[in-house]
Amino acid sequence: MRLEPATFYVYEKVDEDVLGNPIFDEVPIDGYKAKITQWTSEEIALLDRSVTQSQRKLLTNAPRSVLKSAKKVLVDGDTYTITELKSDFIRWRMLHVKEFKR
């Protein structure tokens, strides 16, 4: 499997407005690799159809600390919203992601 360069986006507080509400900005974190993978027939049979139709799996070498704070990921020119961290293997982490719609 060939992994692609991935950019994870975390939201960091950069300022406050006049009412004291925090203002967040997207901060890119580079240096990791990821791959969007297909659902297997066993997973399709076990999971709800709405999950397999609307979400994809992402395999990455990014550490758990980055993934906990990341909200979006850019892989191979497509942006995805991170829905949940599913598995944490020794070298890899598997996430469920949705295609990001503006």
CATH code (residue 11): 2.40.10.270
Residue whose C-alpha is closest to residue 7's, from 94, 68, 77: 77
Name residues whose C-beta falls within 8 Å of residue 55's C-beta, 6 or more positions apart in sequence.
83, 96, 97, 98
Q: Which pLDDT belongs to residue 50? A: 66
Cβ–Cβ < 8 Å for 72, 82: yes
The pLDDT, as a whole number, for residue 41 is: 77
At residue 89, the pLDDT reads 86
**Number of domains the chain contains:** 1
What gap in Å lies between CA 72 and CA 82, rounded to an integer?
6
The DSSP code for 102 is -
User: Tens-of-pLDDT digits for all 102 residues of the chain?
Assistant: 788 999 999 989 999 999 999 999 999 999 999 999 887 777 777 777 767 677 889 999 999 989 999 999 999 888 999 998 988 888 899 998 998 776
Q: Which domain holds residue 20?
A: 4-99
